[in-house]
Chain A
Amino acid sequence: EPEVTQTPSHQVTQMGQEVILRCVPISNHLYFYWYRQILGQKVEFLVSFYNNEISEKSEIFDDQFSVERPDGSNFTLKIRSTKLEDSAMYFCASSDMRVNYEQYFGPGTRLTVT
């Protein structure tokens, strides 16, 4: 069964460093998302992406964040200058949306900023 994959599973970085989190969405899906979940808290929407552009973003998704679909399969989230409060699980999700609205999530990348 097709699934969303994410790499790395765990990333440790120092405050102020740039990180890139990578995702491979399900191949025939057209809509892509990033969510994050701070430990013990709820899953929060960051950004949605369709047709090579951002379709919606939350207040969390400030100028330090960017997304890109560099080729036909990868979808990346870049944090330019990480802060301690960026430590969280980051989930990529994808959806077909033409018929079904379900979003399928990857296993997540645990980002630890020290």
Chain B
Amino acid sequence: SQKIEQNSEALNIQEGKTATLTCNYTNYSPAYLQWYRQDPGRGPVFLLLIRENEKEKRKERLKVTFDTTLKQSLFHITASQPADSATYLCALGDGTASKLTFGTGTRLQVTL
């Protein structure tokens, strides 16, 4: 069955450092992968989408890589700030109008 794993339940880093979050998947061939931010009690907020034929995508301090051979995506937040503290979700889709299949999320805590 399809499985999506995100690294460790919680990641603690110091302000200014780069946070790297991992999303690994098995038994899946996604057409694209999306990263979302979720704050407690709120809905997921879209951050970035990367397609299967793309290696890297950037948006401001965010960078996503996608390796379909390793079946892995890495999500980087550079120059992290306490306001980046949240849970980050990866979600996979396999085509037009496709449902998203979510990972369990990684909780990021950025401290001063």
Contacts and interface: CB of A to CB of B under 8 A. Distances in A.
B100 A103 contact: yes
B97 interface: yes
B102 A103 contact: no
B10 interface: no
Contacts of A41: 104
Interface stretch (A43-51, A63-71, A77-85): A43-51
The interface size bin for chain B is: 20 to 34
A105 B44 contact: yes
Contacts of B31: 101
A33 interface: yes
Contacts of A31: 97
Contact of B97 (A55, A58, A104): A55
Nearest to B38: A43
Contacts of A12: none
Nearest to B96: A97
A108 interface: yes
Contacts of A105: 36, 43-46
Contacts of A25: none
B43 A108 contact: yes
Given A45-B100, A91-B44, A106-B43, 14 more contacts: A35-B100, A41-B104, A42-B89, A42-B102, A44-B102, A48-B99, A50-B97, A58-B99, A95-B97, A100-B49, A102-B34, A102-B46, A105-B36, A110-B41
Q: Which 6 A-B pairs have the closest CB atoms?
A: A105-B43, A45-B99, A43-B102, A42-B104, A105-B44, A108-B43
